[in-house]
Amino acid sequence: MASSSAIITDIFSKSFDFMLKLLKDVGNLLILIVLNIIPIVNFIVLGYFSQVVRHDHDDPPRISDFGMLFVEGLKLVIAVLIYAIVPLLVIFLGAGLALLAAFTYPYRYVVGPAVILSLAIGLLLLLVFLFIGMPALALFMRTGDFGKIFAFGEAWELITRLGLLNYIIFYIALVVFNFIVGFVGSLIPWVGTLILGVFSMAFTFKALSIFVNLKYQVPPPPPPPPPLPSFG
């Protein structure tokens, strides 16, 4: 049996190959990029890559059934927001206090540091929450069961199957990869991050798909619809 470190290397190698395969179908890629640029509509792209986790596609599929993908993307956004509630509260609280201080002469000097501190704490909390939340979100995407976002026992079992140290490496690598892609994308005004975001999602969601394979295999395809009755 391959070692956990070899599994991580294999996960990232296959995820990188999957990401590059986006370039094989330029038309499909352009549709994903355009959809990802439009707010709210970009939930379709999240739903598209959620289906990559559900079915563990070897190649990026042709995008179709936009309504279903939008619903799946919306579910994923809601799931992530549930994990982000506490970090967002910290950020909003810090921003609110800073705004209050801005109108109080003796405390105006603390506005900048307060905003920066609240953002830093909020982002740190978000990373901590997603540390255990990421496997739970992957389980939700694989099974389609929204309740899996609270399946912390199963999420922890998935982590231990990879190995805690190896999972930490896996998690940090994904965070760093997405940070670098986001930074490079920010060099292109307005839409750079959203354009490159399609590639970072392809890499990240494929990595999550292979990761969740440690516990859940790909579900079988749905049965074909029954044939239409013949009146001849």
Is the pLDDT assigned to residue 3 strictly greater than 70? no
- Quick: pLDDT tens for 12-39: 999 999 999 999 999 999 999 999 999 9
Cα–Cα distance for residue pair 214/227, rounded to 1 Å:
37
Q: Which residue has the higher pLDDT, 66 or 103?
A: 66
Q: Write out the residue range of the structural domain in which residue 58 sits.
A: 8-212
Report if residue 145 sits inside a domain: yes
**Residue 223 included in any domain:** no
Judge whether 182 lies within some domain: yes
Global pTM value: 0.83
Does residue 6 or residue 99 have the better pLDDT? 6
Q: Is 173 inside any structural domain? A: yes
Q: What is the pLDDT of residues 69-116, one digit of tens each?
A: 999 999 999 999 999 898 888 877 776 766 666 666 565 566 667 677
The reply to whether 29 falls in a domain is: yes
128 within a domain of the structure (yes/no): yes
Would 188 be classed as within a structural domain? yes
Q: Which pLDDT score, from 0 to 100, does residue 108 have?
A: 57
Question: Do the domain assignments include residue 59?
Answer: yes
Q: What is the count of structural domains for the chain?
A: 1
